[in-house]
Structure 1
């Protein structure tokens, strides 16, 4: 199946991605779940070391594995799918952590492609909050957005910035872009 049916929604933490993707799923779109939050929850439950504040390299490897699995499942389904982050996010995460981009991570970003249009949720202070899994402060959220934007541009993706708008308007924007892709 063509990767053109797989759309990434990414950006810094606390920018409304999860809320947007929940609304997309409720409207009937297929949605691939974010790897990071699920890994944090499972690692906390078992006392595991693969946490962004404990072993960043191991955490990034688990995220990569889950993102590859999500890509494979979405590709096999044949449905238009919104992915909560994607393989290129791992490169951005590693940069933010001052970890080198390992050759296998770069290869994964080359092999597991998505639609050229990537939805970016910009930093949005009015809705930003921390929680048990999101420990980044506002400045780190902005740096994350900027780093991810750079990575996706370097990999040849087209940045489509989501409007800072009510949920229905944001979802309508996404649906329009998908319909015209």
Structure 2
């Protein structure tokens, strides 16, 4: 029996995602959950961006947003399907499929109807959202948005996920350990 068994009383598979605008601490929380022995899937957008750079496209999201979004959608769909086959009762994923649509809304670009269909066919158990947090926000070569843009993206994430009927659970600004405890406590309810 897992040392975290008290947190998980349900038998069915829980696929839980952690969302939020850029620089809100998602990857740090995922790393903390991994360190505690949880099954977690990392954000894949950096992988997609780095692969594009190898092919000579400096910023795929800016230069070819639809292609970037298609690649992310496929990668996140694969993560969801892989998570369903995990032996673990709970799987955490850094960002979900609807994030792709939220970013497309943010840039004002259109996308095929199949994007919406994929969002409706792949349903997550719980959604935790991290609020914008200027004190921890850092921009880098893969995170080109400034803090104001990050807040706009956050609004699109909320709108998109709520549009699919999800109840978003906001994780308070706190230490990484306390944020993780908050998430684990919410899951045990």
TM-score, with length taken from structure 2: 0.89
Aligned partner of 2:74 in structure 1 is 65
1:96 to 106, 120, 124: 106
1:112 to 116, 122, 145: 122
Aligned partner of 2:8 in structure 1 is none
CA distance in structure 1 between the aligned counterparts of 2:12 and 2:24, rounded to whole angstroms: 25
Q: SS in structure 2 opposite 1:10?
A: strand
CA distance in structure 2 between the aligned counterparts of 1:95 and 1:59, rounded to whole angstroms: 14
Unaligned runs of 5+ in 1: none
* TM superposition shift of 1:78: 4.1
Aligned partner of 2:95 in structure 1 is 85
CA distance in structure 1 between the aligned counterparts of 2:117 and 2:14, rounded to whole angstroms: 21
Deviant stretches of 4+, over 3 Å: none
Work out whether residues 30 and 92 of structure 2, in 8 Å CA contact, stay in contact via their aligned partners in 1.
yes
Deviations 1:10-62 (A, max 9, x none): 01000111101100111111111212111112211232477112111100000
* TM superposition shift of 1:100: 1.9
Deviations 1:47-87 (A, max 9, x none): 24771121111000000000011001001114211111111
TM-score, with length taken from structure 1: 0.93
CA distance in structure 2 between the aligned counterparts of 1:50 and 1:155, rounded to whole angstroms: 29
Mapping 1:23-42, distance limit 5 Å:
23-42=32-51
Deviations 1:100-143 (A, max 9, x none): 2421000000001101x310011000000101100001111000
CA RMSD of the aligned region, Å? 1.6
Tell which deviates more after alignment, 76-85 or 161-170.
Answer: 76-85
Q: SS in structure 1 opposite 2:110?
A: coil
1:156 to 122, 147, 165: 165
Aligned residues: 178
